[in-house]
Amino acid sequence: MHLFDDPTSPQPAQMSEGERIARLRLIRTENIGPVTFRDLVQRFGTAQAAIDALPDLARRGGRRRPLKVPSALEAEREIAWNHRIGAQILAIGEPDYPLPLAAIEDAPPVISVLGDPRLLSTRSLAIVGARNASMNGRRFSEMLAREIGSYGYTVISGLARGIDGAAHAGSLETGSIAVVAGGIDVIYPPEHDALYREIADRGAVVAEPAIGTTPQAHHFPSRNRIISGLSLGVLVVEAAKRSGSLITARRALDQGREVFAIPGSPLDKRSDGTNRLIQEGAAHLVQGADDVIRILNGLSTPQLEEPSAREFEPPPPLQPDPQALEKERTVILEAIGADPVAVDELIRGCQLSSPIVATVLLEAELAGVIDRHPGNRVSRRLEISE
């Protein structure tokens, strides 16, 4: 049995409304991303305690201006705005938050869901591919989605033009989830308005950014990690060498998911990415739905671990000595350049303890000095925001 449908998996207790609001405020605070959110709540026990500690942490990291922390009233308004359109906000640690997504290292602390949230915890396959897809690619994607859905799998995609839209169209009858890059109420692209509404009515739409957020370029890679995080595997139909679909496939591999690819003609640039995945041994070669189902049905051992951050109830971490922090802060920050470096490599290279490095990085991110990247990597931010 796979962890996605294991009834023995421990379930978290109901979260208080105050903690839900505090978690929403915390993740909407500037310079705080999913990994920093997790580190803060693990360190301080609750989101409210983390919010109370932010000014001192950011000051030690070198920030001179106060961080912009949304008020409780602003968080309550965001929740109310979701309710007005029929959506709900799920915070990580709540019973309805999908366990597959909670298991990834940079799980979104809160998501908005329009439709049936129970669909997010079903056995699912993501189907992604080129926006400028060929007619055959769109037709094949719709057929694959329909057949895979007939085997009891939910299909997940990103509501984009091309392959995504075809995958959603083929899975409306059996279960379709659209993960959007902007707010839950922002339909992009506009021509998918009717498709969006059908998915919301019969399946589920998921968003990480706040309601009303217009999708920007940097939102799409973040959205892609959610697509793969909710899925048992990712099937790439058509993708160029530098496409967003390949980002989704790479994130899937990082998350321990299966990756599948449809081979294509070497004369078609839209097949460069899928052919490369197969050539490198990173993806299973797929010619039909049966190839995918055979592998998914064979996943008899758990591929995910119960995430320790899900309920945020760890023992208090060791607090580094303040004098040691001051002495080593410069060493750590000077070792970080514009190119992302793994945190483990920093620890080894600087020959410092994990608590010291983790604390310096936490404070530096809050101060706007560094950025975090997938794979537990960090880089120096070129312009420091204050």
Question: pLDDT value at position 385?
Answer: 42
Residues 293 and 347 in one domain: no
Question: pLDDT value at position 311?
Answer: 46
Mean pLDDT calculated for residue range 222-250: 93
| Pairing of β 110-115 and β 124-128 | unpaired
pLDDT at 294 over 90: yes
pLDDT at 302 over 50: no
Domain span at 361: 322-379
CB atoms within 10 A of CB 284: 17
CATH number, position 372: 1.10.10.10
Question: pLDDT value at position 322?
Answer: 66
Q: Average per-residue pLDDT in the chain?
A: 89
Residue-wise pLDDT for 35-55, tens only, equals 999 999 999 999 999 999 999
Q: Report residue 289's pLDDT band, with 50, 70 and 90 as the boundaries.
A: very high
Question: pLDDT value at position 124?
Answer: 96
Whether 162 is in a domain gets the answer yes
Residues 158 and 292 in one domain: yes
Q: Report residue 299's pLDDT band, with 50, 70 and 90 as the boundaries.
A: confident
Q: Which H or E run contains 74? A: helix 72-84
Mean pLDDT calculated for residue range 233-258: 92
Whether 112 is in a domain gets the answer no
Question: pLDDT value at position 216?
Answer: 92
Residues 128 and 205 in one domain: yes
pLDDT at 61 over 60: yes
pLDDT at 384 over 60: no
CATH number, position 170: 3.40.50.450
C-alpha angle 100-104-106 in degrees, rounded to nearest 5:
135
- Cα–Cα distance measured from residue 196 to residue 87, given in angstroms and rounded to the nearest whole number: 13
Whether 305 is in a domain gets the answer no
Mean pLDDT calculated for residue range 6-29: 77
Q: Report residue 352's pLDDT band, with 50, 70 and 90 as the boundaries.
A: confident
Residues 337 and 261 in one domain: no
Residues 162 and 250 in one domain: yes
CB atoms within 10 A of CB 146: 18
Residue-wise pLDDT for 94-128, tens only, equals 989 999 999 999 999 999 999 999 999 999 999 99
Whether 54 is in a domain gets the answer no
Mean pLDDT calculated for residue range 71-79: 97
Question: pLDDT value at position 168?
Answer: 98
Residues 284 and 326 in one domain: no
Of 262, 282, 297, which one is at a domain's C-terminal end?
297
Whether 10 is in a domain gets the answer no
Of 297, 313, 334, which one is at a domain's C-terminal end?
297
pLDDT at 243 over 90: no
| Pairing of β 377-380 and β 370-373 | antiparallel
pLDDT at 25 over 90: yes
| Pairing of β 124-128 and β 154-157 | parallel
Q: Report residue 5's pLDDT band, with 50, 70 and 90 as the boundaries.
A: very low
Query: What percentage of the chain has pLDDT greater than the value 70?
Result: 89
Contact between 32 and 69 under an 8 Å Cβ cutoff? The reply is: no
CA dist list (Å): 139 to 1, 163, 237, 319, 379? 33, 9, 11, 57, 42
pLDDT at 12 over 90: no
* Domain total in the chain: 2
Question: pLDDT value at position 315?
Answer: 46
Residues 354 and 259 in one domain: no
Residues 263 and 359 in one domain: no
Question: pLDDT value at position 266?
Answer: 87
Residue-wise pLDDT for 175-208, tens only, equals 999 999 999 999 999 999 999 999 999 999 999 9
The DSSP-derived string for 208-266 is: -SPTTPPP-TTHHHHHHHHHHHTSSEEEE-S--TT-HHHHHHHHHHHTT-EEEE----T
Question: pLDDT value at position 14?
Answer: 73
Residues 213 and 359 in one domain: no
pLDDT at 16 over 50: yes
**Per-residue tokens: 175:** 């279960």
Residues 133 and 256 in one domain: yes
Find residue 112's DSSP bridge partners: 89, 207
Question: pLDDT value at position 324?
Answer: 67
Residues 250 and 179 in one domain: yes
Residues 258 and 346 in one domain: no
